[in-house]
Structure 1
Amino acid sequence: MSAHTLPLVSVVLAFLNEERFLEEAIESVLHQEYQNWELLLVDDGSSDRSTAIAQKYAASYPAQIIYCEHAGHVNKGLSASRNEGIRQAKGALIACLDADDVWLPAKLAQQVAIFQRHPGIAMVAEASTYWYSWADATKKDVPISVGAPQDKVYGPAELFSHLYPLSSGAAPCPSGLMLTKDAIARVGGFEESFTKKYALYEDQAFLNKVYLKESVYISSACNNLYRQREGSIVQWVHADGQYHAVRRFFLEWFAAYLQQQQATDPGLEKLLRKALHPYHHPRLHYLTNTLPARLRRILKQSI
């Protein structure tokens, strides 16, 4: 079977000032075993060499690599940039790659094969290697599986009881996903209101919309390297003491979204109430959860 009888995969790589890492990310697409792909390089208003790097690759591979930008080369945020790439995508399948991450060569081939085995699914999510050794060879890389039993299909609303941010299991990373373009359209794409510090939850807002309505395959494969680095939004939000403000924003957005969608799932509603409890009832939460937990730790240390 020739490459072009297989489904076209549109790879959406949005970037902002990623001159250090962009070339490595693009090269990891060029080295995929699966060859029927197009790569949309979406420039979110870069002011460094990223723009020139992306344009160079688009000129060198005009049949497969497309350079895109917002009108006036403005910055609109990661979600708006991903949505722009998805709008221009020609493929039936969409894979996102963060500009500082890297795919291993089997990534697209393995995920396309899962879609072919399970034609009713909307998304495949795989494990990610948290990549520390790129900067310090003495540090160990850590593979993190998606925090639900793997190599199986989950129906609508089933993943909420397994995965962060409403449960404790590890959520998938964007570079580990592949979705049908139709499913992305059904859920309305990425949420463009999650900008600046709230971009910490932009992937979770999108994923929660998918979990709510679609069937998802959780894969045990691990074909992406999730670069861990200083200055990431995760580090910035935590260091600035903004994590709980951002988490509350997301949870209240999701509560409003469920109401708008007229979604009624008792298990999901219970998980959301529990997650919102510390923010809506801080004193009660302190007395019933935080204080008893502290007392248990003190007692355990004194034994």
Structure 2
Amino acid sequence: MGFTGTKNYIASKELQLAVNAAITLEKPLLIKGEPGTGKTMLAEELSASLGADLLQWHIKSTTKAQQGLYEYDAVSRLRDSQLGDARVHNIGNYIVKGKLWQAFTAEKRPVLLIDEIDKADIEFPNDLLLELDKMEFFVYETQERIVAKQRPIVIITSNNEKELPDAFLRRCFFHYIQFPEREEMTQILDVHFPNIKKDLLEKALTSFFQIRDVGGIKKKPSTSELIDWLKLLVADDIPASVLQDNDAKNALPPLYGALLKNEQDIHLFEKLMFMARR
């Protein structure tokens, strides 16, 4: 049975095709898109829909590819040797399994999320080429080869902060999540706010998309920020009449701090408001 989204996650037809194609080809699915468009949530909902375990490897600027395989805790072994602990005779006691090792040896096919791969060093993707392609690696300390019992479903996300190597891209199935159009956004919000007043939802969506359309805005608000904004509007019982029917781009919306995240964009809107008043 193919992935068609879940009750908590609205997946476009294109995204559904990409997920199912990657599973069929047994290739990692590389997902790009604006921050807040549901890339990480895709892996969570995919694992839930398949009834599979989810292993999450969140990448930082200091993350090394080796950490995804395993790490040798030499410091603990040295300390135990000084204390005369018998554990030191088995070096395997000091091998810390990484997320790939856990995925390779799982009894049931898991979903492995490698989140925000573009945060790491440029060589990070290249360092995982063999492991993701052959689904195996060698542990030098114990002289054992770890081979995947079955290929995990690998979801890799990127915010496009840096280009990924061609050799890495060749091994992936790629999909870019387009920002939702108004109709699809309405479906997404219906999942999160099934009882929201329709006039509030319509005017909030109008304001949101007009803000995104303002020329010169540095950081466009995302889907997750729209959801946060609507939560605040509902919690504070903001009436729909407070939101602008037209020219929302010339006024700061109530609780705008959920949508605008830097002073440059706020100054831009203040300037537009001043010009509109003139």
- Name the TM tier (shorter chain): under 0.3
Rg larger in structure: 2
TM-score computed with the length of structure 1 as normaliser: 0.24
TM-score of the superposition, structure 2-length normalised? 0.26
Q: Which has the higher contact order (CA 8 A, sep 6+)?
A: 2
